[in-house]
């Protein structure tokens, strides 16, 4: 409970709790914490997102202890000075602050509670931060399992994609015990521009899933609208300009337009390469669908968006950016 968590914070050398009662020693405390803070950080999952995130920790002077199921994924961070170990349990043996970045719920369950999982060797007072996008119910299960071992688990999914991961400009949505947020933020700030506290465990996931459901609905709507306007004889750039000064404006129309040639520097201008893959959007919409079912929440457009993105995955769009729904709609009508 509360006491173990406060104790956990103190054990990790994150002594900000003490600072609250003794204002005059704040500066001294902060400086000792920043020295203490360059202790090892564990990192599990060095994929498209984990790899650049771990690099940013190294860049900020943190010694990183990392592992991935695919040994070849470890090469780059190893060359930059990370220590590579065999499995998540070994990471937990060496570091008391660990970040995990994994594809889906089953991977998270395995990395934390599997035979070579983090919780097999986790130290008391450890801070475990999961940046995977998974079902909030799984985040809550992992938090309960971690608490039994005297460790603290927080969910901290990200938005911003691979580009923001490389430039250290991710947004982290964090769920967990509020008194642990300062300690989590210290690490996450090395990898992100925004670190937002959302509430108890699972609320980070909830925020991410809700955003992406709206994003998918907005992208499909923008694609349908642009396509209809083009068929009615409007110039796509002009139509985008009008939408963006009118009440139909949204992020998909003004920042990430799905029509090739309307905007520079977005995936639609590069044959829908890079960006946020259709497969990932389908996965996040699946999570939105599950959570909606579990909470008996009607999401008619969210459900339809999920099915459209699943169809796209089956038709060869899986690895194209999710804005390729524009191309998919044109194809559907035999253009």
Residue 195 in 3-state DSSP? strand
Mark out the alpha helices in 232-299 (DSSP H runs): 236-243, 251-254, 278-294
Average pLDDT over residues 38-47: 95
Distance between first and last Cα of the chain: 61
What is the reported pLDDT for 333? 67
Residue 283 in tokens? 């996965």
Which residues are identified as catalytic? Answer: 208
Cβ burial, residue 109 (10 Å; 0-12/13-18/19+): middle
> Cα 146–148–154 angle (5° rounding)?
25
Residue 26 in tokens? 């704040």
As a whole number of angstroms, the distance between CA 157 and CA 243 comes to 31
Residue 24 in tokens? 């005059």
Average pLDDT over residues 46-57: 96
pLDDT tens for each residue of 63-104: 999 999 999 999 999 999 999 999 999 999 999 999 999 999
What is the reported pLDDT for 1? 67
C-alpha distances (whole Å) from 73 to each of 58, 84, 120, 139, 147 are 16, 11, 23, 25, 30
Same fold, 2-200 and 207-330: no
Mark out the alpha helices in 85-202 (DSSP H runs): 88-94, 105-113, 118-121, 136-148, 161-167, 181-188
User: Where does the pLDDT of residue 42 fall: very low under 50, low under 70, confident under 90, or very high at 90 and above?
Assistant: very high
Would you tell me how many other CB atoms lie within 10 Å of the CB of residue 309? Answer: 26
pLDDT tens for each residue of 272-318: 998 899 999 999 999 999 999 999 999 999 999 999 999 999 999 99
Q: Would you kindly state where each structural domain of the chain is located, as residue ranges? A: 2-200, 207-330
Architecture of domain 207-330: Orthogonal Bundle (1.10)
What homologous superfamily does CATH list for 2-200? NAD(P)-binding Rossmann-like Domain (3.40.50.720)
Token pair 């771990």 is found at 54
Task: Judge contact between 216 and 322, C-beta under 8 A.
Answer: yes
The pTM score is 0.85
Q: Tell me the pairing of strands 83-84 and 158-159.
A: unpaired
Judged against a pLDDT cut of 60, whether residue 319 lies above it is answered with: yes
- Which among 162, 164, 183 is positioned nearest to 174, based on CA atoms? 183
Task: Judge contact between 299 and 293, C-beta under 8 A.
Answer: no
């Amino acid at each position: 409970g509360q006491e173990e968590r406060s104790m956990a914070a103190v054990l990790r050398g994150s002594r900000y709790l003490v600072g609250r009662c003794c204002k005059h020693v704040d500066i001294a405390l902060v400086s000792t914490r920043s020295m203490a803070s360059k202790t090892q950080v564990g990192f599990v999952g060095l994929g498209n997102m984990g790899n650049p995130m771990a690099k940013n920790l190294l860049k900020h002077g943190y010694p990183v202890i990392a592992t991935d199921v695919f040994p070849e994924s470890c090469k780059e961070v190893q060359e930059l000075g990370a220590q590579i170990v065999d499995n998540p349990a070994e990471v937990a043996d060496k570091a008391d602050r660990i970040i995990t970045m994994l594809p889906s719920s089953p991977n998270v369950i395995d990395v934390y509670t599997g035979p070579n999982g983090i919780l097999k060797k986790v130290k008391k007072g450890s801070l475990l931060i999961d940046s995977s996008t998974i079902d909030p119910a799984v985040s809550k299960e992992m938090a309960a399992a971690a608490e039994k071992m005297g460790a603290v688990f927080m969910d901290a999914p990200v938005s911003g994609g691979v580009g923001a991961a490389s430039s250290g400009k991710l947004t982290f949505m964090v769920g967990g015990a509020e008194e642990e947020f300062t300690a989590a933020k210290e690490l996450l700030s090395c990898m992100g521009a925004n670190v937002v506290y959302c509430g108890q465990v699972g609320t980070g996931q909830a925020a991410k899933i809700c955003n992406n459901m709206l994003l998918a609905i907005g992208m499909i709507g923008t694609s349908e609208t642009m396509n209809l306007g083009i068929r009615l004889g409007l110039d796509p750039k002009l139509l985008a300009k009008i939408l963006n000064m009118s009440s139909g404006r949204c992020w998909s129309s003004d920042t990430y337009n799905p029509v090739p040639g309307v905007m520079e520097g977005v995936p639609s201008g590069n044959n829908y390469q890079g960006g946020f893959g259709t497969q990932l959007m389908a996965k996040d919409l699946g999570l939105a669908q599950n959570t909606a079912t579990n909470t008996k929440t009607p999401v008619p457009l969210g459900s339809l968006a999920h099915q459209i993105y699943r169809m796209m995955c089956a038709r060869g769009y899986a690895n194209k950016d999710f804005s390729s729904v524009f191309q998919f709609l044109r194809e559907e009508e035999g253009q």
